[in-house]
Amino acid sequence: MSWRWGPHTLRARLTFLYMTVMVAVLGVYVSVVLVLVARNLSDALDARLRSDFRWAAEMAEQGPDGSLSWFEGEPWTDGPWLQVWTPGGELIYRTSVAARLPVPASESLVAEADGRIRSMPDDPAPFRILGGRATVGGRPVVIQVGRSEAFTRLEVRELAVLLLLGLPLTVAVAGAGGYVLARGALSPLQRMAERARAITAANLDERLPIDSPRDELGRLAAVFNDTLGRLESSFNQMRQFTSDVSHELRTPLTAIRSVGEVGLREHRDAGAYEQVIQSMLEETDRLTRLVDRLLLVSRADRGELALAHRPVELGAIADDVAAHLGVLAEEKRQSMTVEHEARARCLGDQIALRQAVINLVDNAIRYTPAEGEIRLRVAVSSGDAVLEVSDTGPGIPARDRSRLFERFYRGAHGGASGGSGLGLSIAKWAVEASHGQLAYERIDGRGSRFRITLPLAPGTPVGEPAAAGGA
């Protein structure tokens, strides 16, 4: 329904709709009442005609000369409209009312006197005549009694005028009442609008008032409050994300600048300059990796990464990552092993899952002390493909586990590790994008284990031995 040319406020619209419905309902009500009243009055008029006929047939008086007469009432009152005819059509009696109000067509009804009521056109209203045969004083006669419909129509007309005059007043009172009710019912909505208008990015902790949580407006306010809560959380995460990104980008840039300034303070030989340049390149590589991870996170949030879902061998990924990062583990005198307990074949994106495993193993190498052990285990459990990355590091404190997969969160030991705080969040995204789960558990009070669980690819035999491999 278009309100282009109608009222522009919800309160006025509700009042207008209320009045429109009221007019329609009252219009139907008035029409029904008038039809019923007119029918009842018509039935009552017919009943009086039949009563008049019975009176005329029973109350006739026969004079000494054989003439017939009827009591017509007092001279100042209107008696019945009565005509008596012979079966041959000769008028033998007529009351004064019938003489004063003649109905010319009544004579034609003598031959059709069968007890039915007929309406004859007359001015100012139709005239109803009931004609029937009877025997009065031993003589067969045709009796006609009649009544005008003028009084019936007058009563219907007066009632119609009364109802139609009262209709606008009723609608006006109902409209005023509807406006007051709409104003009261929508007052919480106005308060919510005023409060919502005052909420900005600076005070997202404000909430809309809820007068009654059980009604529709209360539930609407609750939905808006939930939305505001999510917006507040998103804004806080965005602020934290911006702050963390600024800090992470500042660190390698500061290092590059510091190394460059130190290198330029005095004249050095070629070997010293080579070390300075190598340090600057290392910081540049770190900055590049950070930017690449930020771009990956940004594209993942926007849904721009089209991931493939093809059969992937987790054992092959584990072997590849162990070979790729084994050099870093050797530099820290750490041992790295890959255990294949079963063939774990799942559906997913091989590149994304490989990146997830690289991030987990890189974290394990970073936090595990020298002479420590890192173990990759590939297995099948409860119909799922499983890849575990375990280490003998200090583990993650209980206070940090709830925020373990948050972006840029590095916990109590993360500050000294040199990590960006994005590795675990990217790993979790990569695993969940392949319809899997990434979980953490502590190992015997020391060490960490990250478990990747993915649904087995269709057609993979459960319990099939793994192919030979290891690192």
- State how far the Cα of 104 lies from the Cα of 125, in Å rounded to an integer: 15
* Separation CA 97–CA 99 (nearest Å): 5
In sign, the C-alpha dihedral spanning 456, 459, 461, 466 is negative
Contact partners, residue 170, CB within 8 Å, separation at least 6? 22, 26
pLDDT for the residue numbered 76 = 39
Report phi then psi at 343, rounded to 5.
-75, 115
Q: Which residue from 143, 133, 430, 431 is spatially nearest to 299, judged by alpha carbons?
A: 430
33/160 same-domain check? yes
468 found inside a domain = no
Among the three residues 198, 232, 251, which one is the final residue of a domain in this structure? 198
Contact 83, 99 (CB under 8 A): no
Query: Residue 108's domain is classified under what CATH number?
Result: 3.30.450
**Following CA atoms 338, 356, 358, 388 in sequence, which dihedral angle do they give, to the nearest 10 degrees?**
-20
Instruction: Tell whether 58 and 174 lie within a shared domain.
Output: yes
Taken in order 247, 253, 258, 261, the sign of the CA dihedral is negative
Nearest CA to 312 among 360, 339, 349? 349
Long-range CB contacts for residues 265-274, cutoff 8 Å, separation at least 24:
none
Instruction: Report angle CA 20, 24, 27 to the nearest 5 degrees.
Output: 135
What pLDDT is stored for residue 193 in this prediction? 80
286 and 382 co-located in one domain: no
Q: What does the block give as tokens for 401?
A: 């586990």
Q: What is the domain extent for residue 276?
A: 216-301
| Residues 363, 292 share a domain | no
Which residue type does 446 have?
R
- Residue ranges in the chain whose pLDDT is less than 50: 1-3, 74-77, 414-416, 468-471
Q: Do 274 and 422 belong together in one domain?
A: no
Are 391 and 447 within 8 A, CB to CB?
Answer: yes
Q: What's the confidence (pLDDT) of residue 348? A: 84
- The string of DSSP letters for 91-107 reads EEEE-HHHHHS--GGGG
Could you tell me if 279 and 320 lie in one domain?
A: no
Tell me, yes or no, whether 209 lies in a domain. Answer: no
Give Cα separations from 255 to 19, 287, 405 (angstroms). Answer: 76, 10, 27
Residue 468: what pLDDT? Answer: 47
Q: Are residues 449 and 318 in the same domain?
A: yes
**DSSP three-state, residue 338:** strand
2 and 90 part of one domain: yes
- The pLDDT value given to residue 245: 64
Helices (H), 344-459: 350-367, 398-401, 411-414, 423-433
The answer to whether 348 touches 427, Cβ cutoff 8 Å, is no
Q: What is the pLDDT of residue 319?
A: 93
pLDDT computed for residue 46 by the predictor: 92
Structural domain includes residue 211:
no
- 435 within a domain of the structure (yes/no): yes
Q: Where are the beta strands (DSSP E) in 373-460?
A: 373-381, 384-391, 437-442, 448-455
pLDDT of residue 416: 46
- The one-letter amino acid code at 218 reads G
Claim to verify: residue 408 and residue 326 sit in the same structural domain: yes
Please state, rounded to an integer, the average pLDDT across all residues of the chain: 80
As a whole number of angstroms, the distance between CA 343 and CA 315 comes to: 7
Q: Is residue 469 part of a domain?
A: no
CA angle 446, 451, 454 (to 5 degrees): 175
Residue 134 to residue 84: CA distance in whole angstroms: 10
If asked whether residues 107 and 233 sit together in one domain, one would say no
Where a domain ends, among 171, 198, 225? 198
Q: How far is 285 from 38, CA to CA, in rounded Å? A: 99
Is there a cis peptide before residue 209, judged by omega within 30 degrees of 0?
A: no
Please report whether residue 205 resides in a domain. Answer: no
Report helix, strand or coil for 287: helix
Helix (H) or strand (E) holding 279: helix 270-301
CA 114/CA 230 separation, integer angstroms: 87
Instruction: Find out whether 221 and 192 touch, Cβ atoms under 8 Å.
Output: yes
pLDDT tens digits along 34-48:
999 999 999 999 999
Q: Residue 255: phi, psi to the nearest 5?
A: -65, -45
Do residues 142 and 101 both lie within one domain? Answer: yes
Strands 335-340, 373-381: pairing is: parallel
Angle between helices 350-367 and 423-433 (to 10 degrees): 150
CATH of the domain at 226: 1.10.287.130
Query: Residue 432: inside a domain, yes or no?
Result: yes
Strands 81-85 and 61-62: unpaired
Query: How confident is the model at residue 244, as a pLDDT?
Result: 63
**Which among 301, 322, 339 is the end of a domain?**
301
84 in any annotated domain? yes
Cβ distance 141 to 135 under 8 Å?
Answer: yes
Tell the residue number behind the tokens 């209980």, with chain if given.
Answer: 398
- Number of compact structural domains in the chain: 3
**How many angstroms separate the CA atoms of 115 and 120, rounded?**
15
Do residues 183 and 123 both lie within one domain? yes
Q: Find the Cα–Cα–Cα–Cα dihedral 30, 36, 40, 43, rounded to 10°.
A: 130
CATH number of the domain to which 366 belongs: 3.30.565.10
